[in-house]
Amino acid sequence: MIIKLLDIPPEGLNLSISISSDEFEISSKYEIIEDPVKFDGNVKLMSSGCLVSGHLKGSWKLSCARCLKFFTLPVDGKFRVFFNRNFNKDTDSILELTQEQLEEKELNSNEINLTEIIREEMILRIPMKPICEGTCKGLCPSCGQDLNIASCNCEKNAVNPQFAKLKQFLQK
């Protein structure tokens, strides 16, 4: 969804939209956005750019870093992104905003792509190592047995290097 800055009224643009997952074009097989992603928020013009703030609600389907099984990670949170026309210039333009946490990006055209902003916000919320449950026991590094389902008879530290590599690959 493209928003032209010229179309934003002085009081700001209030938005309440649902975006279907295929609009995000996520190519990973292990990280899938579930339908739909909801955004409620506001786009406001500032003297030096444009502020997008609002609330994001959706969910990811992610592959667990320990057992590789898919699980749902709900995403529910607020964000603020300020698109600054003077991004790389040494100015205090950001000071016109309150001190609340926000991200700052360069504004280099006369429109913003809201779908792209929401896509990035969704990706930011993927943990480094997504885990299905804190108690997940993972797979045996030797035989690949899902240790949440059953134990195996492998010796603890005997890692089959080939399987370890495969596991690393799958986690990318």
Tell me which stretch binds Zn ion (CB under 5 A): 32-40, 48-56, 61-69, 163-171: 61-69
Whole-angstrom CA distances from 39 to 22, 49, 53, 123, 155 are 16, 21, 10, 15, 50
Whether the CB-CB separation of 86 and 48 falls below 8 Å is answered with yes
Per CB under 5 A, does 93 bind Zn ion? Answer: no
> Over the Cα atoms of the chain, what is R_g?
21
Contact stretch for Zn ion (CB under 5 A) within 35-43, 59-67, 115-123, 157-165:
59-67
Closest to Zn ion by CB, 42 vs 145, is 145
Site for Zn ion in 116-135 (CB under 5 A): 132
Considering the complex, what minimum distance in angstroms separates the CB of residue 21 from Zn ion? 23
Q: Which of 42, 93, 115, 142 binds Zn ion (CB under 5 A)?
A: 142
The span from the CA of 152 to the CA of 139, in Å, is: 10
